[in-house]
Amino acid sequence: MLFEYRYIDGKGKKKRGLIDALHLDEAKEKLLSQKTLLISLNKASPKKKNSNRLKKEALITFTTQLAGLLQAGMPLYESLLSLEEQYRQDSFHSVLLTLCEQIKGGSSLSDALNKFPDSFNRIYCSMVAAGESVGALDVTLDKLATLLAKQNKLKKQIITALIYPTLLFGFSMVVIFLMLTFVIPSLEALFEDRDVNRFTKAVMVFSNFLTHKWMYYTPLTAASLATLYFSLTSEKGKRWLQRQLLRLPILKTLIIQTAIARFSRTMSTLLQGGVSLIQALQISRKVMQSPIFEEIIEKAEANIIAGSLLSTELKKSPLIPSLVPRMLAIGEEGGNASQMLQKIADMYEDDIEKSLTRITALAQPVILVFMGGVVGLIMIAVLLPLTDVSAFL
């Protein structure tokens, strides 16, 4: 059972923690043996078990350190105990403490990790289980640390590349909104009771709508955005959105490169870690984060079970670049498919970086031209009537 406790740390601050024990008295004894100054101790709710999960950076550090301790010859329990003492003040300490208790009680590491799915996903647990089965847990954890670092780096590259265009677009929309709701209304007095051209009148009507009818369009816009969000996050919506994005040349290239890089890197690591081909396929397709590409791999699984090769199945899809099945076929013939998948991942990760640079470089002028065009049209709408001097006489 998991118990939540409040305590006062060495600096006199009140903190919370979680501890694993068979009953309340055992939890109290464990905490007292650790010289913890308790304030309260209660049974934790089911949601608390994964509330203090290991996040990406912490998971990479933990995996790297555990692999290093095991490679140095330290037993698993002592390695975990050493890390538990090191991270005693961190939010995820309760997870490490539970792992120590489980290992001490005779559980395998993979079984203990399975109790924390929010911290250790299916890839992690499957690789650890495979490493334990062949007696190479230290090597497996080292490969896992590399995989997690690569995945994290790829994710950061994509996010970093999208930050500036997103901020620039957001700023553009704010500027345009402020012009329509503050600048144009302040100039309306100039054109009061005057005949103006249709374009200027249309801009003023739209400005008046934004300024005075916000109580109508605000909830409608919020409801529309919420509906759009829930529609696009559903399985059907994700498929539709990705089909539309795959029609755009530059984005199509980036989506394909990202899916293949994730799939190849994960497959390579799983196969090197001792996971069977079918199980590796089932896990790796989920990492692609693309319903369309997941479907391609899912269809391939059935034929591979029947005796086909992965390279043969990938060749059937028009979305998979021909270079991928060609390189994979060479690896399968030479008996080193995992190494070839690793080379494919390296190659496409480099290509992703180039594609992101290209998209960022292209997005900036497009957004600026859009912003300049809209602002220019608004200014023209204001300036056109002013050129007709006779209208003010």
- What pTM was computed for the model? 0.71
CB pairs under 8 A, 24+ apart, for 361-369?
362/250, 363/165, 363/168, 364/164, 364/165, 364/168, 367/165, 367/168, 367/169, 367/172, 368/168, 368/172
Q: Tell me the CB-side half-sphere exposure of residue 246, using CA atoms within 13 A.
A: 18
Q: How far apart are CA 249 and CA 189, in angstroms?
A: 48
Overall CATH class of domain 249-353: mainly alpha
pLDDT by residue for the chain (393 residues), tens digit each?
677 777 776 677 776 666 767 777 887 887 777 777 778 887 766 555 555 678 888 889 999 999 999 998 888 989 988 888 788 777 787 788 778 878 877 888 888 888 888 888 888 888 888 888 778 888 888 888 888 888 888 888 888 888 888 888 888 888 888 888 888 888 777 777 677 778 888 888 888 888 888 888 888 889 998 998 888 888 888 888 888 888 888 888 888 998 999 899 888 888 888 888 888 888 888 888 888 898 899 888 888 988 889 999 999 989 999 999 999 999 988 888 889 999 999 999 889 888 888 888 888 888 888 888 888 888 888 777 766 644 444
Pairing mode of beta strands 14-20, 37-43: unpaired
On whether the CB atoms of residues 379 and 190 are closer than 8 A, the answer is no
Cα distance between residue 91 and residue 380, in whole Å? 57
Instruction: Spell out the long-range contacts of 66-70 with Cβ–Cβ below 8 A and sequence spacing 24 or more.
Output: 66/141, 67/138, 67/141, 67/142, 67/144, 67/145, 70/137, 70/138, 70/141
Residue 293: which of 244, 348, 255, 347 has the closest Cα?
255
Q: Are 3 and 19 in contact (CB under 8 A)?
A: yes
Cβ-contact 303, 314 below 8 angstroms = no
